[in-house]
Amino acid sequence: MDNQIFNVNGEDEKTLNKALNLVFNQDGFAQTCIAWEEDKEKGLILLWHPKGENVSKLPSAMNADQVTPIVWSWLLGDFAKSMELKGWDGDCDHDGHNGLGWRVYVEDWGHVAGNFYAICAITPAYMWYGK
């Protein structure tokens, strides 16, 4: 579909797996990820086709269940920790507290960073908790 909308945040690996399964199956068929790229603003971008300048191929095509541990490890790694989180993803000051989690999303037309081959992107994101 051309008007794909997806934007889910959460905290743990189990919920991450559920979000990835949903976005991998949003077009009515199970997509597989065959490549990825990192972007300082967008995060980890999972791709169904290995086209792009800074794309790294996976050893084989992976479904959502297979790619979840890789994404989880990425979220715990140095690149994710170095990202500057802004807006709804940021560590905002409010009358509650915040905990670091993640967000799985697509942008306009179901693309990420203008990449037609994106399945989704994952970024660290703060969860905001009220009083």
Note whether residue 115 is domain-resident.
yes
Residue at 2 is within a domain = no
For residue 21, what are the contacts with CB-CB under 8 A and spacing of at least 6?
Answer: 64, 65
* Per-residue model confidence (pLDDT) at position 1: 65
Whether residue 24 is contained in a domain is answered as yes
pLDDT by position in tens, the chain (length 131): 677 889 999 999 999 999 999 999 987 778 999 999 999 999 999 999 998 788 999 999 999 999 999 999 999 999 999 999 999 898 887 877 889 999 999 999 889 998 889 999 999 999 988 75
Could you give the dihedral angle defined by the CA atoms of residues 122, 124, 125 and 127, in that order, rounded to the nearest 10 degrees?
110
Is residue 75 a part of any domain in this protein?
A: yes
Residue 64's closest CA among 103, 95, 107, 19?
19
Domain region containing 107: 7-129
Number of domains the chain contains: 1
pLDDT at 36: 97
Q: Is residue 49 part of a domain?
A: yes
Does a structural domain hold residue 1? no
